[in-house]
A = this chain, B = another copy of it.
């Protein structure tokens, strides 16, 4: 990620006044400090009056130097597109203050959450989890309440692939019963975010004791699942609205499923063909070509 401003700064360097050049030089040499220090402190270090900082920023089209600092701060967080995104957001919010703003805000907040999942650290965790699951005899998928969506899609995709998957869910609250047979060689994929569900933690404890490995998808290093997890995936849930979003967790699980499928390679493809045959035999899907003759 390169700061657009640094580039502009270098390009226009010649045309700047003496003091402004001093500031520009200092900024280019100390990008981290631009994000971390106050404008006044930066002026002091660059040997310039604070007013000069503000005016330089304004020359480049910012409202003040504060905006420059925010730009550098965002860059430091490792969110390359955030400035462009924010600008768009502002524009559109001016256009409409109501629903549109909420929609924009929700999706805008999701983007950095997804980007966080493709950071090197997250990738390492995803691949480690995929390795663990790919080697497992069976995978038990457990997620209650809002996270059920997440484990369901994992289980569904995994079933399509022909891999051994058990969805911990059952009519009449018999869900947890399927865990009875869990043991060494199995993996429990457990998903829970704040507020953490009691049953999920219990199940993880239980499975761990029986010798199963744990892959936890949760929202913090401090999650109660963390101490039990062999592999842990951290997903964001925050949104500008007052409720949490499961979209990042959902995306992470889909990605995990894809990684595992890739590991099984040829086997996956064979299973997919089988699945398709079965489903078309049952007339599950509408045929893409002619008229679909409905039956039943």
A residues adjacent to B (C-beta < 8 A): 1-2, 10, 13, 24-25, 28-29, 31-33, 35-36, 73, 75-78, 80, 82-85, 87-88, 90-92, 94, 99-100, 102-104, 106-108, 110-111, 114-115, 117-120, 122-123, 126-127, 130, 145-146, 148-150, 152-153, 156-157, 160, 171, 194-199, 201-202, 219-222, 224, 234, 239, 241-243, 245-247, 250-251, 254-255, 257-259, 261-262, 283-286, 288, 292, 294
Contacts and interface: CB of A to CB of B under 8 A. Distances in A.
A284 B197 contact: yes
Nearest to A73: B36
Given A32-B76, A111-B111, A198 B285 contact: yes
Contact of A156 (B25, B145, B234): B145
A291 to B, nearest CB: 11
SS class, residues of chain A in contact with chain B:
helix
Given A28-B221, A146-B157, A243-B258, 5 more contacts: A36-B73, A94-B120, A157-B243, A195-B286, A198-B283
